[in-house]
A and B are shown apart, each in its own frame.
Chain A
Amino acid sequence: MSNKEYDNTIICRCEDITRGELHMWIDQGLTTVDELKRLTRATMGPCQGRTCRQLILQEIASKTGVPVSDAKIPTYRQPLRGITLGAIADMKLDEEGKPHEE
């Protein structure tokens, strides 16, 4: 593949963020997943980075020479999977947050 085609490779498939777009921002000095996420929306889609976080880490490492093992990883946050507002609203929870039947 030519470099151009390689740049068009989708890295974050929830938000359609390409390798070329990530590289543009890395070249501007944004060298953590947290920073790239906030400017490109990569990792902000339904999968919340479960697919692309490792790929982005590798792209950063390849550009900066800093190994993935030394990279700063963004905070993992709830919910673990997408859940509808209605499903949460319909839940009956006790004081500790455990679901219970009335």
Chain B
Amino acid sequence: MKNKAQVVVIGGGVVGCAIAYHLAANGCKDVVVLEKEYLASGSTGRCGAGVRQQWGTEMNCRLSSGSARDFENMNAELQYESDIEFHQGGYLLVAYTDHQVEQFKKNVALQNSLGIHSRFLTPLQAKEIVPHLNIEPLLAATFYEKDGHANPFHVTQAYANAARRLGVEINTYTTVTGIKTENGKITGVVTDKGEISTPIVVNAAGGFADTIAQMAGVELPTYSERHQILVTEPVAAFQGPMVMSFHHNTYCQQSPHGSFIMGMGEVEPHGHEIMSTWQFLKEMSDKITNMLPPLRYLRVVRQWAGLYHLTPDRQPILGSTEQLQGFEMALGFSGHGFMIAPMTGRLMAAHILGIDHKDKDIMTTLNIDRFAKGNLFIEPSVV
């Protein structure tokens, strides 16, 4: 392992690898990535693998639509020898209350103004898209055909391989144990395999971003929370889009491979606990067999859990902080880090290197100082 680097990225998930790649692609090749287990072993590899552009804030819409364009060309751009399995089957978002219908109308107007051509649908139109959807209590839906799915392991691997080819050093099974500072500036990182002196540390540690921030003495307004998922055996394709309900707090998508992946938001204590529970298995089965009745014949083969790292406004924290010079943040993705990682990588690299980017205002808006200033615009559409 190097003992000196221009930039050290903490976290070998999709965000850390995307930032490392874009730093190197912009000429900053003296970069080290530190990952305590293997690539995508944390939140990235445990996520629902959805790629959605139908968001309720301008920032999330722009980050996700820019990222979707990156996913479309990713195999070629990163010269990936395998496949990131990007598939655009759409997202169908379903509304069951008047309040949700009003919110969806606002969201579609916002999305359309940003080039995301989502559509507002009646229950019958929704049923044309997902014929097995139970529309009994449904009031309305929205649909965007360019939303979809990508494989989180392969996307992370694609970024990591491309970064390595450009000279980035990626150290897996390497745990960060301390951050060194002097006079309010970053000077280095301590790991279980030695120290690296560096003026810039990027905190891309996902569910453990709070632990890293504590080591640096930086205060975050965030917390981690378990979210659970299950997957079924694969069957022939019969559900095109992801079906997502903020009312039931659930999402369910058939992956290109044929298995159904589904998850649910629950009331959870804050922390890093990720054991699976039978309560989730039961409640998820109850809800999904009601929403999508034919799924009752599918066998569950596995369940697991991962961490959301949540901010007060459900938008990520990006960029520098006045609390500590050289401490850069890409954290608090609030459950949608995978789908906005490509744009995050581009914007973080441009910000760190002082390069102009047409979307650099996103970095200003999503800086951590927004919480002290009270400039919050809360994302309403999160499971």
Contact = CB atoms under 8 A, between A and B. Distances in A.
B272 to A, nearest CB: 15
Interface stretch (B100-108, B300-308, B368-376): B300-308
Contact of A82 (B233, B281, B286, B296): B233
A46 B301 contact: yes
Contact of B299 (A34, A83, A93): A83
B303 A85 contact: no
Given A78-B281, A83-B300, A88-B285, A34 B41 contact: yes
B377 interface: no
B286 A39 contact: no
Contacts of B45: 38
Contact of A86 (B161, B234, B281, B296): B296
A85 B282 contact: no
B153 A39 contact: yes
Interface string A58-91: 0000000000000000000111001111101101
A41 B285 CA distance: 24
Contacts of A79: 281, 300-303
A39 B154 contact: yes
Interface residues of B, number: 35
A86 B45 CA distance: 27
B154 A85 contact: no
Contacts of B302: 44, 48, 77-79
B297 interface: yes
A32 interface: yes
Contacts of B288: 85
B303 A82 contact: no
A56 B111 CA distance: 46
Interface in A32-64: 32, 34-35, 38-39, 41, 44-46, 48
Contacts of A93: 278, 282
Contact of B40 (A38, A46, A84): A38
A82 B301 contact: yes
Contacts of B297: 84-86
Nearest to B37: A34
Nearest to A41: B257
Interface in B272-294: 276, 278-279, 281-282, 284-286, 288-289
A96 to B, nearest CB: 10
A40 B185 CA distance: 42
Interface string B30-73: 00000001111100010000000000000000000000000000
* Shortest 4 CB-CB contacts between residues of A and residues of B: A86-B296, A82-B299, A88-B285, A38-B153
Given A39-B82, A48-B301, 8 more contacts: A35-B39, A78-B281, A78-B303, A82-B299, A82-B300, A85-B232, A91-B282, A97-B279
15 contacts: A32-B38, A38-B45, A39-B82, A39-B154, A39-B157, A45-B233, A46-B301, A77-B304, A82-B299, A84-B300, A85-B285, A85-B288, A86-B296, A86-B297, A97-B278
Interface of B: 37-41, 45, 82, 153-154, 157, 161, 232-234, 257, 276, 278-279, 281-282, 284-286, 288-289, 295-304
